[in-house]
Amino acid sequence: MELLVVRHAVAKDAEAFARKGKPDGERPLTKEGRREFRRGARGIARLAGEVDVLATSPLVRARETAALLAPALGCGRPLRRPELAAGAPARKLVAWLARQRRGATVAVVGHEPDLSRLVALLATGRAQDAIVIEKGGACLLAFDGAVRAGAGTLRWLLTARQLRRLGRGR
């Protein structure tokens, strides 16, 4: 199995949004965040190809990012997964991933620091702050067998800017 891990694109400022009395889960992407991620999504697609399953956090900014990513990856409508909500335990997401088809390519869209800790857990066996996935950035992990802690191999980790550069050629 291959696992594409994508952090949501740039969203509206959290503090300014909170001052309006709105919950953080409803915070959307900025206009520029959408524009830039469309190009980044093309870069992701160049590297990852098509995916079998695209799952997203239920928070608005992640859902919007997944909706922009889906056409580039040639997959259907993103699945909302509570295991990808901000602060959800990594073990629950690992359990869901372990139930996916072995040869599948699965993409997930979520939040920091959860995604970086997930990648570290899958690659090293320890959920630690070993890497950072920036907004609109992505990485790809590969598994020869079952998805479990320490079994993943990090194939690539790219910033949003690097992905946009890759997306220019498409």
> For 106-153, how does the pLDDT look when each residue is reduced to its tens digit (9 = 90+)?
999 999 999 999 999 999 998 888 889 999 999 999 999 999 999 999
Is pLDDT above 60 for 170?
A: no
pLDDT value of position 50: 87
pLDDT value of position 128: 82
- Read off the CATH number of the domain in which 50 is found: 3.40.50.1240
Is pLDDT above 80 for 169?
A: no
- Sheet (strand 138-143) strand order: 79-80, 53-56, 105-110, 2-7, 138-143, 152-158
Q: Alpha-carbon distance 63 to 167, whole Å?
A: 21
Q: Are 156 and 139 in contact (CB under 8 A)?
A: yes
> For 14-30, how does the pLDDT look when each residue is reduced to its tens digit (9 = 90+)?
999 999 999 999 999 99
More confident residue, 35 or 168: 35
pLDDT value of position 48: 94
Note the pTM of the prediction, 2 decimals: 0.96
Number of domains in the chain: 1
Q: Per-residue pLDDT averaged across 39-43, rounded?
A: 97
Domain range for 18:
2-167
